[in-house]
């Protein structure tokens, strides 16, 4: 069997240390509790962010570059980085993993390109959607065999398939209304597909990721995010607290809230990038 996603090159011990797991990897079985524990630990340790795009460096999505950045340099990343890193770790631990590409956005909007990478994982007797790279990712894996709403830490989600069974739709209950977050297409994904999707996401002028800093940290009871200059805390039920940050507050949030550290020159560049238009 070929290792098309290069999972064998992952420094598994370093990854487990990065997410705060200190026991021996051999003690981790490919079970549902292990999947849930790793999912939560990954979200708690590694933020979602696009800051290398703001710094003019772009984003590389080969596994060597991903682990150099997210594991050794203790940075964050976005879906293509998170998904490949988590998927490689799961495969090394004996899980069966499928990478899926998804179209982000509510049902009532025009069709968008496939710009999100998520994972389908077989663990124990079940199959799960495990997504650590959406920013506002569910706090744990979601069962693909459940026929109704699933609650995690007060957040409520639902997975549904279209009539033909070719699309997996992730919906979240937000302020009493069901909102589709994305539609993952149930077809095989290859590494070059991720390279193409990443190129679009990181370079297309209308991509959200090309014109504003985006940083998100997922906690069990809150999602803390910075989009441009706007700092938002979202709690279960989609209750939001929002305010605009000063230069000093923006710089402080990167380290104090998100655990990200940069040089003075990098911070100046990121602060200047945060003065642009802010998404509502």
Active site residues: 79, 116, 131
Continuous segment of H or E residues that includes residue 151? strand 150-152
Q: What is the DSSP letter of 205?
A: T
**Residues in contact with 76: Cβ distance below 8 Å, sequence separation at least 6, in sequence order:** 46, 47, 48, 49, 51, 70, 215, 258, 260
If we measure between CA atoms, which residue out of 75, 80, 45 comes closest to residue 59? 80
Continuous segment of H or E residues that includes residue 114? strand 114-123
Helix, strand or coil, per DSSP, at residue 244:
strand
Alpha carbon dihedral 18, 21, 27, 31, in 10-degree steps, equals -90
Q: What is the DSSP letter of 119?
A: E
φ, ψ for residue 155 (rounded to 5)? -90, 140
**Residues in contact with 108: Cβ distance below 8 Å, sequence separation at least 6, in sequence order:** none
If we measure between CA atoms, which residue out of 254, 261, 182 comes closest to residue 224? 254
């Amino acid at each position: 069997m070929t290792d098309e996603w290069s999972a064998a090159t992952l420094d598994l011990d370093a990854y487990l240390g990065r997410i705060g797991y200190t026991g021996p990897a051999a003690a981790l079985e490919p079970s549902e509790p292990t999947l849930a524990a790793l999912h939560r630990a990954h979200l708690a340790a590694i933020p979602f962010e696009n800051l290398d795009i703001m710094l003019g460096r772009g984003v590389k999505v080969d596994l060597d570059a991903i682990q150099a950045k997210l594991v050794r340099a203790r940075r964050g990343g976005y879906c293509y980085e998170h998904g490949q890193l988590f998927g490689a770790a799961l495969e090394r631990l004996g899980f069966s993993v499928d990478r899926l590409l998804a179209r982000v956005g509510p049902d009532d909007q025009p069709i968008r390109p496939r710009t999100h990478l998520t994972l389908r994982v077989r663990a124990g007797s079940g199959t799960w959607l495990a997504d650590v790279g959406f920013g506002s990712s569910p706090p744990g894996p979601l069962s693909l065999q459940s026929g109704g709403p699933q609650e995690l830490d007060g957040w409520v989600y639902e997975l549904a398939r279209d009539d033909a069974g070719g699309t997996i739709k992730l919906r979240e209950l937000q302020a009493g209304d069901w909102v589709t977050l994305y539609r993952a297409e149930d077809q095989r994904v290859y590494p070059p597909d991720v390279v193409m999707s990443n190129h679009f996401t990181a370079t297309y002028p209308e991509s959200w990721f090309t014109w504003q800093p985006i940083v998100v940290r997922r906690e069990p009871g809150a999602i803390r995010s910075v989009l441009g200059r706007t700092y938002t805390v979202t709690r279960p039920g989609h209750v939001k607290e929002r305010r605009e940050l000063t230069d000093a507050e923006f710089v402080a949030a990167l380290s104090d809230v998100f655990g990200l550290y940069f040089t003075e020159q990098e911070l100046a560049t990121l602060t200047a990038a945060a003065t642009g238009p802010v998404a509502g």
